[in-house]
Structure 1
Amino acid sequence: MKKNYDIIAFDLDGTLTASDRGITNSMQIALRHFGIERDTESLKRHIGPSLTDTFREYVGDDEEQIQLAIKKYREYYVAGGMLENEVYEGVEDTLKEIKSRGKKIILASSKPMVYCEKILAHYGLDKYFDFIGGSNLDETRSKKVEVISFALENINATPGSNVLMVGDREYDILGAKGLGMDSVGVLFGYGSKEELQQAGATYTIEKMTDLLEIV
Protein backbone atom coordinates (compact mmCIF):
# COMPACT_ATOMS: atom_id res chain seq x y z
CA MET A 1 0.00 0.00 0.00
CA LYS A 2 1.33 3.45 -0.93
CA LYS A 3 2.12 5.89 1.86
CA ASN A 4 0.84 9.40 1.47
CA TYR A 5 3.89 11.54 0.73
CA ASP A 6 2.87 15.18 0.26
CA ILE A 7 6.39 16.57 -0.19
CA ILE A 8 9.19 15.04 -2.24
CA ALA A 9 12.71 16.31 -1.54
CA PHE A 10 15.46 15.69 -4.10
CA ASP A 11 19.22 15.75 -3.96
CA LEU A 12 20.86 17.21 -7.11
CA ASP A 13 24.22 15.65 -8.03
CA GLY A 14 23.84 11.98 -8.89
CA THR A 15 20.07 12.14 -8.45
CA LEU A 16 18.70 14.65 -10.96
CA THR A 17 21.88 15.15 -12.96
CA ALA A 18 25.05 13.24 -13.85
CA SER A 19 27.47 15.93 -12.74
CA ASP A 20 30.70 14.00 -12.26
CA ARG A 21 32.59 15.51 -15.22
CA GLY A 22 32.30 19.10 -14.01
CA ILE A 23 32.91 18.23 -10.37
CA THR A 24 35.92 15.98 -10.92
CA ASN A 25 37.48 18.42 -13.41
CA SER A 26 37.09 21.23 -10.85
CA MET A 27 38.54 19.02 -8.14
CA GLN A 28 41.55 18.02 -10.22
CA ILE A 29 42.37 21.67 -10.95
CA ALA A 30 42.13 22.55 -7.25
CA LEU A 31 44.31 19.62 -6.17
CA ARG A 32 46.95 20.35 -8.84
CA HIS A 33 47.48 23.72 -7.15
CA PHE A 34 48.80 21.69 -4.21
CA GLY A 35 50.82 19.33 -6.40
CA ILE A 36 48.32 16.50 -5.97
CA GLU A 37 47.24 14.35 -8.91
CA ARG A 38 44.19 12.11 -8.71
CA ASP A 39 42.37 10.25 -11.49
CA THR A 40 38.76 11.06 -12.31
CA GLU A 41 37.34 7.74 -11.12
CA SER A 42 38.85 8.00 -7.63
CA LEU A 43 37.37 11.49 -7.18
CA LYS A 44 33.78 10.43 -7.84
CA ARG A 45 33.41 9.25 -4.25
CA HIS A 46 33.57 12.90 -3.17
CA ILE A 47 30.34 13.78 -4.99
CA GLY A 48 27.87 14.40 -2.18
CA PRO A 49 29.66 15.72 0.90
CA SER A 50 30.74 19.34 1.34
CA LEU A 51 33.90 20.68 -0.29
CA THR A 52 35.29 21.49 3.17
CA ASP A 53 35.13 17.82 4.17
CA THR A 54 36.53 16.72 0.82
CA PHE A 55 39.55 19.02 0.73
CA ARG A 56 40.37 18.45 4.39
CA GLU A 57 41.29 14.91 3.35
CA TYR A 58 43.91 16.24 0.93
CA VAL A 59 45.27 19.46 2.44
CA GLY A 60 44.77 18.83 6.17
CA ASP A 61 42.96 20.86 8.80
CA ASP A 62 44.48 24.26 7.95
CA GLU A 63 41.42 26.42 7.28
CA GLU A 64 43.29 28.79 4.94
CA GLN A 65 44.46 25.88 2.78
CA ILE A 66 40.95 24.41 2.66
CA GLN A 67 39.51 27.77 1.61
CA LEU A 68 42.20 28.16 -1.07
CA ALA A 69 41.32 24.73 -2.45
CA ILE A 70 37.62 25.68 -2.55
CA LYS A 71 38.52 28.95 -4.30
CA LYS A 72 40.52 27.11 -6.99
CA TYR A 73 37.71 24.56 -7.41
CA ARG A 74 35.11 27.27 -7.90
CA GLU A 75 37.17 29.23 -10.42
CA TYR A 76 36.71 26.36 -12.89
CA TYR A 77 33.26 25.33 -11.67
CA VAL A 78 31.71 28.78 -12.05
CA ALA A 79 33.42 29.38 -15.42
CA GLY A 80 31.58 26.40 -16.89
CA GLY A 81 32.19 23.28 -14.86
CA MET A 82 28.72 23.40 -13.32
CA LEU A 83 27.21 22.90 -16.77
CA GLU A 84 29.42 19.91 -17.61
CA ASN A 85 26.34 18.08 -16.57
CA GLU A 86 23.50 15.97 -17.95
CA VAL A 87 19.94 15.42 -16.73
CA TYR A 88 19.21 11.74 -16.13
CA GLU A 89 16.66 10.02 -18.31
CA GLY A 90 13.13 10.20 -16.92
CA VAL A 91 13.82 13.03 -14.48
CA GLU A 92 11.68 15.71 -16.12
CA ASP A 93 8.80 13.32 -16.82
CA THR A 94 8.87 12.21 -13.19
CA LEU A 95 8.93 15.77 -11.80
CA LYS A 96 6.08 16.76 -14.11
CA GLU A 97 3.94 13.80 -13.03
CA ILE A 98 4.62 14.34 -9.31
CA LYS A 99 3.60 17.97 -9.72
CA SER A 100 0.41 16.95 -11.55
CA ARG A 101 -0.50 14.80 -8.54
CA GLY A 102 -0.62 17.93 -6.40
CA LYS A 103 2.52 17.23 -4.40
CA LYS A 104 5.19 19.75 -3.44
CA ILE A 105 8.73 19.34 -4.70
CA ILE A 106 11.82 20.77 -3.02
CA LEU A 107 15.55 20.52 -3.61
CA ALA A 108 17.82 19.70 -0.68
CA SER A 109 21.43 19.77 -1.88
CA SER A 110 24.75 20.33 -0.12
CA LYS A 111 25.84 22.34 -3.17
CA PRO A 112 25.64 26.14 -2.75
CA MET A 113 22.10 27.33 -3.38
CA VAL A 114 23.14 29.87 -6.02
CA TYR A 115 24.65 27.07 -8.16
CA CYS A 116 21.63 24.80 -7.64
CA GLU A 117 19.34 27.56 -8.91
CA LYS A 118 21.52 28.17 -11.99
CA ILE A 119 21.79 24.48 -12.88
CA LEU A 120 18.06 23.78 -12.56
CA ALA A 121 17.20 26.94 -14.50
CA HIS A 122 19.68 26.02 -17.26
CA TYR A 123 17.98 22.66 -17.77
CA GLY A 124 14.45 24.06 -17.42
CA LEU A 125 13.73 22.06 -14.26
CA ASP A 126 13.34 24.97 -11.83
CA LYS A 127 9.66 25.38 -12.71
CA TYR A 128 8.80 22.11 -10.99
CA PHE A 129 10.24 23.13 -7.62
CA ASP A 130 8.38 24.87 -4.81
CA PHE A 131 11.74 25.70 -3.26
CA ILE A 132 15.38 25.15 -4.23
CA GLY A 133 17.47 24.64 -1.12
CA GLY A 134 21.25 24.43 -0.90
CA SER A 135 24.18 25.42 1.26
CA ASN A 136 25.70 28.87 1.67
CA LEU A 137 28.81 29.81 -0.30
CA ASP A 138 30.83 29.76 2.94
CA GLU A 139 29.96 26.05 3.26
CA THR A 140 27.61 26.58 6.20
CA ARG A 141 24.24 24.78 6.07
CA SER A 142 25.88 21.99 4.06
CA LYS A 143 24.90 19.02 6.23
CA LYS A 144 21.96 17.17 4.73
CA VAL A 145 19.83 17.45 7.88
CA GLU A 146 20.32 21.22 7.82
CA VAL A 147 19.50 21.70 4.16
CA ILE A 148 16.39 19.48 4.27
CA SER A 149 15.13 21.41 7.31
CA PHE A 150 15.90 24.74 5.60
CA ALA A 151 14.04 23.79 2.42
CA LEU A 152 11.01 22.59 4.39
CA GLU A 153 10.93 25.77 6.48
CA ASN A 154 10.74 27.79 3.29
CA ILE A 155 7.51 26.08 2.24
CA ASN A 156 6.13 26.31 5.80
CA ALA A 157 6.47 22.57 6.39
CA THR A 158 8.24 20.41 8.95
CA PRO A 159 10.01 17.04 8.64
CA GLY A 160 7.70 14.07 9.09
CA SER A 161 6.26 10.89 7.68
CA ASN A 162 4.63 12.80 4.79
CA VAL A 163 8.03 13.89 3.41
CA LEU A 164 10.17 11.62 1.21
CA MET A 165 13.86 12.25 0.50
CA VAL A 166 15.33 11.04 -2.82
CA GLY A 167 19.10 10.80 -3.16
CA ASP A 168 22.06 8.74 -4.34
CA ARG A 169 24.42 8.71 -1.34
CA GLU A 170 24.34 7.65 2.29
CA TYR A 171 24.29 11.33 3.31
CA ASP A 172 20.82 11.71 1.80
CA ILE A 173 19.52 8.58 3.52
CA LEU A 174 21.05 9.38 6.91
CA GLY A 175 19.85 12.99 6.70
CA ALA A 176 16.29 11.81 6.09
CA LYS A 177 16.55 9.23 8.86
CA GLY A 178 17.81 11.90 11.27
CA LEU A 179 14.59 13.84 10.64
CA GLY A 180 12.25 10.85 10.89
CA MET A 181 11.61 10.75 7.15
CA ASP A 182 11.48 7.90 4.63
CA SER A 183 14.01 7.87 1.81
CA VAL A 184 14.63 6.55 -1.68
CA GLY A 185 18.11 5.57 -2.80
CA VAL A 186 18.63 5.88 -6.56
CA LEU A 187 20.96 3.24 -8.00
CA PHE A 188 22.05 5.25 -11.05
CA GLY A 189 24.02 7.88 -9.10
CA TYR A 190 27.34 7.83 -7.24
CA GLY A 191 26.51 5.57 -4.31
CA SER A 192 26.36 1.77 -4.40
CA LYS A 193 23.32 -0.33 -3.54
CA GLU A 194 25.23 -1.63 -0.53
CA GLU A 195 25.97 1.93 0.69
CA LEU A 196 22.33 2.96 0.38
CA GLN A 197 20.97 -0.18 2.03
CA GLN A 198 23.45 0.00 4.90
CA ALA A 199 22.43 3.61 5.49
CA GLY A 200 18.82 2.41 5.78
CA ALA A 201 17.09 3.53 2.59
CA THR A 202 13.35 2.82 2.78
CA TYR A 203 13.30 2.06 -0.96
CA THR A 204 15.82 1.76 -3.80
CA ILE A 205 15.04 2.41 -7.46
CA GLU A 206 16.91 1.62 -10.67
CA LYS A 207 15.49 4.46 -12.77
CA MET A 208 13.85 7.74 -11.86
CA THR A 209 10.45 6.87 -13.27
CA ASP A 210 10.25 4.01 -10.72
CA LEU A 211 9.68 6.74 -8.14
CA LEU A 212 6.14 7.14 -9.47
CA GLU A 213 5.28 3.70 -8.06
CA ILE A 214 6.17 4.99 -4.58
CA VAL A 215 4.65 8.47 -4.54
Structure 2
Amino acid sequence: MSRGRPVVLLDLDGTLSESAPGITASLAAAYRDLALPVPDAAVLRSFVGPPLTASFRTHGVPEPLVADLLAAYRRHYDAGGLRDTRVYPGVRDALATLRAAGCTLLVATSKPRVRALPVCAHLGLDGLLDGVFAAPDDEASTSKADVVAAALASATDAGTDRRPAVMVGDRVFDVAGAHANGIPCVGVAWGYAEPAELADADAVVRDPADLARTVLDLLRAA
Protein backbone atom coordinates (compact mmCIF):
# COMPACT_ATOMS: atom_id res chain seq x y z
CA MET A 1 0.00 0.00 0.00
CA SER A 2 1.09 3.60 -0.61
CA ARG A 3 2.38 5.53 2.39
CA GLY A 4 1.22 8.90 1.08
CA ARG A 5 2.75 12.32 1.63
CA PRO A 6 5.13 12.61 4.59
CA VAL A 7 3.94 14.56 7.62
CA VAL A 8 5.86 17.17 9.57
CA LEU A 9 4.41 18.10 12.97
CA LEU A 10 5.49 21.49 14.25
CA ASP A 11 5.45 22.85 17.77
CA LEU A 12 4.46 26.52 17.91
CA ASP A 13 5.95 28.44 20.87
CA GLY A 14 9.75 28.34 20.74
CA THR A 15 9.82 26.44 17.44
CA LEU A 16 7.97 28.53 14.89
CA SER A 17 7.47 31.62 17.03
CA GLU A 18 9.50 33.62 19.49
CA SER A 19 6.63 34.09 21.92
CA ALA A 20 8.21 34.30 25.36
CA PRO A 21 8.01 38.11 25.72
CA GLY A 22 4.21 38.21 25.46
CA ILE A 23 3.69 35.04 27.48
CA THR A 24 6.02 35.92 30.35
CA ALA A 25 4.72 39.50 30.61
CA SER A 26 1.15 38.19 30.77
CA LEU A 27 2.12 35.63 33.40
CA ALA A 28 3.84 38.26 35.57
CA ALA A 29 0.77 40.51 35.34
CA ALA A 30 -1.50 37.60 36.30
CA TYR A 31 0.60 36.78 39.37
CA ARG A 32 0.43 40.42 40.43
CA ASP A 33 -3.36 40.47 39.95
CA LEU A 34 -3.67 37.65 42.49
CA ALA A 35 -1.09 39.19 44.85
CA LEU A 36 1.18 36.18 44.37
CA PRO A 37 4.98 36.47 44.31
CA VAL A 38 6.07 36.77 40.68
CA PRO A 39 8.53 33.98 39.73
CA ASP A 40 11.90 35.04 38.41
CA ALA A 41 12.53 35.38 34.69
CA ALA A 42 14.00 31.90 34.29
CA VAL A 43 10.97 30.25 35.88
CA LEU A 44 8.54 32.30 33.80
CA ARG A 45 10.46 31.34 30.67
CA SER A 46 10.17 27.64 31.61
CA PHE A 47 6.38 28.01 31.43
CA VAL A 48 6.58 28.50 27.65
CA GLY A 49 5.57 25.23 26.04
CA PRO A 50 3.92 22.87 28.55
CA PRO A 51 0.32 23.32 29.76
CA LEU A 52 0.23 26.31 32.10
CA THR A 53 -1.86 24.68 34.81
CA ALA A 54 0.78 21.96 35.19
CA SER A 55 3.51 24.59 35.48
CA PHE A 56 1.50 26.55 38.06
CA ARG A 57 1.16 23.44 40.23
CA THR A 58 4.82 22.49 39.79
CA HIS A 59 5.85 25.92 41.04
CA GLY A 60 3.67 25.94 44.11
CA VAL A 61 0.51 27.83 43.17
CA PRO A 62 -2.17 26.72 45.67
CA GLU A 63 -4.77 24.54 43.96
CA PRO A 64 -7.70 26.88 44.76
CA LEU A 65 -5.90 29.67 42.85
CA VAL A 66 -4.85 27.72 39.74
CA ALA A 67 -8.04 28.43 37.78
CA ASP A 68 -8.05 32.11 38.81
CA LEU A 69 -4.41 32.52 37.80
CA LEU A 70 -5.08 30.92 34.43
CA ALA A 71 -8.06 33.23 33.85
CA ALA A 72 -5.97 36.30 34.75
CA TYR A 73 -3.20 35.18 32.41
CA ARG A 74 -5.67 34.73 29.57
CA ARG A 75 -7.06 38.24 30.08
CA HIS A 76 -3.62 39.80 29.79
CA TYR A 77 -2.51 37.54 26.95
CA ASP A 78 -5.63 38.13 24.87
CA ALA A 79 -5.37 41.90 25.50
CA GLY A 80 -1.88 42.17 24.03
CA GLY A 81 0.54 39.35 24.79
CA LEU A 82 -0.81 37.24 21.95
CA ARG A 83 0.48 39.76 19.43
CA ASP A 84 3.90 40.13 21.09
CA THR A 85 5.38 37.29 19.06
CA ARG A 86 7.22 36.85 15.77
CA VAL A 87 8.31 34.07 13.46
CA TYR A 88 11.96 33.15 13.99
CA PRO A 89 14.11 34.34 11.07
CA GLY A 90 14.52 31.58 8.51
CA VAL A 91 11.60 29.46 9.72
CA ARG A 92 9.23 30.64 7.03
CA ASP A 93 11.74 29.64 4.35
CA ALA A 94 12.16 26.21 5.96
CA LEU A 95 8.40 25.63 5.89
CA ALA A 96 8.23 26.68 2.24
CA THR A 97 11.00 24.23 1.40
CA LEU A 98 9.21 21.37 3.18
CA ARG A 99 5.95 22.16 1.38
CA ALA A 100 7.75 22.24 -1.95
CA ALA A 101 9.17 18.80 -1.09
CA GLY A 102 5.61 17.46 -0.77
CA CYS A 103 5.26 17.41 3.01
CA THR A 104 2.01 17.93 4.91
CA LEU A 105 2.68 20.55 7.62
CA LEU A 106 0.63 20.37 10.83
CA VAL A 107 1.07 22.46 13.97
CA ALA A 108 0.95 20.31 17.11
CA THR A 109 0.95 22.55 20.18
CA SER A 110 -0.01 22.41 23.85
CA LYS A 111 -1.42 25.91 23.44
CA PRO A 112 -5.25 25.91 23.56
CA ARG A 113 -6.78 25.87 20.09
CA VAL A 114 -8.66 29.13 20.74
CA ARG A 115 -5.27 30.87 21.03
CA ALA A 116 -3.17 28.77 18.67
CA LEU A 117 -5.32 29.66 15.66
CA PRO A 118 -5.13 33.46 16.17
CA VAL A 119 -1.36 33.26 16.75
CA CYS A 120 -0.84 31.37 13.47
CA ALA A 121 -3.01 33.93 11.69
CA HIS A 122 -1.18 36.85 13.33
CA LEU A 123 2.15 35.38 12.20
CA GLY A 124 0.87 34.97 8.66
CA LEU A 125 1.63 31.24 8.60
CA ASP A 126 -1.83 30.11 7.46
CA GLY A 127 -0.83 29.66 3.84
CA LEU A 128 2.07 27.37 4.77
CA LEU A 129 0.14 25.08 7.12
CA ASP A 130 -2.28 22.23 6.40
CA GLY A 131 -3.82 22.16 9.88
CA VAL A 132 -3.50 23.15 13.53
CA PHE A 133 -3.81 20.62 16.37
CA ALA A 134 -3.83 21.98 19.90
CA ALA A 135 -4.94 21.43 23.46
CA PRO A 136 -8.63 21.82 24.38
CA ASP A 137 -9.71 25.38 25.03
CA ASP A 138 -10.23 24.58 28.73
CA GLU A 139 -6.63 23.24 28.96
CA ALA A 140 -7.92 19.96 30.33
CA SER A 141 -5.31 17.30 31.05
CA THR A 142 -4.05 16.78 27.51
CA SER A 143 -0.43 15.75 27.05
CA LYS A 144 1.75 16.58 24.07
CA ALA A 145 1.55 12.91 23.17
CA ASP A 146 -2.24 13.27 22.87
CA VAL A 147 -1.90 16.26 20.55
CA VAL A 148 0.67 14.43 18.41
CA ALA A 149 -1.59 11.36 18.23
CA ALA A 150 -4.54 13.47 17.05
CA ALA A 151 -2.45 15.15 14.36
CA LEU A 152 -1.10 11.81 13.13
CA ALA A 153 -4.58 10.29 13.07
CA SER A 154 -5.79 13.14 10.86
CA ALA A 155 -3.05 12.32 8.35
CA THR A 156 -3.80 8.59 8.13
CA ASP A 157 -5.83 7.93 5.00
CA ALA A 158 -8.04 4.91 4.46
CA GLY A 159 -6.25 2.29 2.39
CA THR A 160 -2.75 3.50 3.25
CA ASP A 161 -0.19 2.75 5.90
CA ARG A 162 0.56 5.54 8.34
CA ARG A 163 2.56 8.19 6.54
CA PRO A 164 6.21 8.73 7.47
CA ALA A 165 6.27 11.53 10.05
CA VAL A 166 8.64 13.71 12.06
CA MET A 167 7.99 16.03 14.99
CA VAL A 168 9.85 19.35 15.30
CA GLY A 169 9.99 21.01 18.71
CA ASP A 170 12.08 22.88 21.25
CA ARG A 171 11.22 21.17 24.55
CA VAL A 172 11.53 17.72 26.12
CA PHE A 173 7.73 17.46 25.93
CA ASP A 174 7.96 17.48 22.14
CA VAL A 175 10.57 14.72 22.16
CA ALA A 176 8.55 12.60 24.59
CA GLY A 177 5.30 13.19 22.69
CA ALA A 178 6.89 12.16 19.41
CA HIS A 179 8.54 9.04 20.80
CA ALA A 180 5.32 7.99 22.56
CA ASN A 181 3.77 7.88 19.09
CA GLY A 182 6.67 6.05 17.48
CA ILE A 183 8.06 8.93 15.42
CA PRO A 184 11.40 10.77 15.56
CA CYS A 185 11.82 14.32 16.82
CA VAL A 186 14.05 17.10 15.58
CA GLY A 187 14.95 19.42 18.45
CA VAL A 188 15.51 23.08 17.67
CA ALA A 189 18.13 24.85 19.76
CA TRP A 190 16.77 28.37 19.20
CA GLY A 191 13.75 27.79 21.47
CA TYR A 192 13.23 27.57 25.22
CA ALA A 193 14.88 24.28 26.19
CA GLU A 194 17.04 24.08 29.28
CA PRO A 195 20.60 22.75 28.82
CA ALA A 196 20.58 19.03 27.84
CA GLU A 197 16.76 19.05 27.58
CA LEU A 198 16.97 17.84 23.97
CA ALA A 199 19.43 15.03 24.71
CA ASP A 200 16.98 12.36 23.53
CA ALA A 201 16.01 14.12 20.30
CA ASP A 202 16.86 12.20 17.14
CA ALA A 203 18.60 15.27 15.74
CA VAL A 204 19.20 18.83 16.95
CA VAL A 205 19.45 21.84 14.65
CA ARG A 206 20.85 25.19 15.70
CA ASP A 207 19.96 27.23 12.63
CA PRO A 208 16.63 27.32 10.78
CA ALA A 209 18.62 27.11 7.55
CA ASP A 210 19.39 23.47 8.45
CA LEU A 211 15.86 22.52 9.49
CA ALA A 212 14.33 21.39 6.20
CA ARG A 213 17.33 19.26 5.23
CA THR A 214 17.43 17.55 8.63
CA VAL A 215 13.69 16.82 8.58
CA LEU A 216 13.82 15.45 5.04
CA ASP A 217 16.78 13.20 5.94
CA LEU A 218 14.81 11.69 8.84
CA LEU A 219 11.72 11.23 6.68
CA ARG A 220 13.76 9.35 4.06
CA ALA A 221 15.08 7.06 6.78
CA ALA A 222 11.60 6.39 8.24
TM-score by length of 2: 0.87
Which sits farther off after the overlay, 88-97 or 5-14? 5-14
2:198 aligned counterpart, secondary structure: helix
Instruction: Report if the CA contact (8 A) 2:6-2:163 is conserved.
Output: no
Calculate the aligned-residue CA RMSD, in Å.
Answer: 2.0
**Equivalent residues in 2 for 1:42-53 (5 A)?**
42-53=43-54
Which residue of structure 2 lines up, in the alignment, with residue 103 of structure 1? 103
Q: Which amino acid in the other structure matches residue 75 of structure 1? A: R
Q: Which amino acid in the other structure matches residue 8 of structure 1? A: V
CA–CA separation in structure 2 for the residues paired with 1:128 and 1:141? 29
In the alignment, structure 1 segments of 5+ residues that lack a partner are: none
Q: 1:22 to 1:73 in 2, by over 3 A?
A: same
Which residue of structure 1 lines up, in the alignment, with residue 90 of structure 2? 90
Instruction: Report if the CA contact (8 A) 1:185-1:204 is conserved.
Output: yes
Q: Which amino acid in the other structure matches residue 198 of structure 2? A: L
CA–CA separation in structure 1 for the residues paired with 2:155 and 2:141? 17
2:151 corresponds to 1:154: no
Instruction: Report if the CA contact (8 A) 2:156-2:163 is conserved.
Output: no
Shift of 1:30: 1.6
Q: 1:38 to 1:127 in 2, by over 3 A?
A: same
Which residue of structure 2 lines up, in the alignment, with residue 21 of structure 1? 21
Which residue of structure 2 lines up, in the alignment, with residue 117 of structure 1? 117
Which sits farther off after the overlay, 50-59 or 157-166? 157-166
How many residues are paired up?
A: 208
Q: 1:52 to 1:193 in 2, by over 3 A?
A: same
Which residue of structure 2 lines up, in the alignment, with residue 128 of structure 1? 128
CA–CA separation in structure 1 for the residues paired with 2:183 and 2:115? 26
Shift of 1:192: 3.5
Shift of 1:5: 8.1
Shift of 1:90: 0.6
1:196 aligned counterpart, secondary structure: coil
**Equivalent residues in 2 for 1:197-212 (5 A)?**
197=199, 200-212=200-212
Q: 1:193 to 1:165 in 2, by over 3 A?
A: farther
CA–CA separation in structure 2 for the residues paired with 1:176 and 1:96? 23
Which residue of structure 1 lines up, in the alignment, with residue 177 of structure 2? 175
Q: 1:192 to 1:129 in 2, by over 3 A?
A: same
Which residue of structure 2 lines up, in the alignment, with residue 68 of structure 1? 68
2:182 aligned counterpart, secondary structure: coil
Instruction: Report if the CA contact (8 A) 2:111-2:134 is conserved.
Output: yes
CA–CA separation in structure 2 for the residues paired with 1:161 and 1:204? 22
Q: 1:95 to 1:71 in 2, by over 3 A?
A: same
Q: Which amino acid in the other structure matches residue 182 of structure 1? A: P
In the alignment, structure 2 segments of 5+ residues that lack a partner are: 217-222
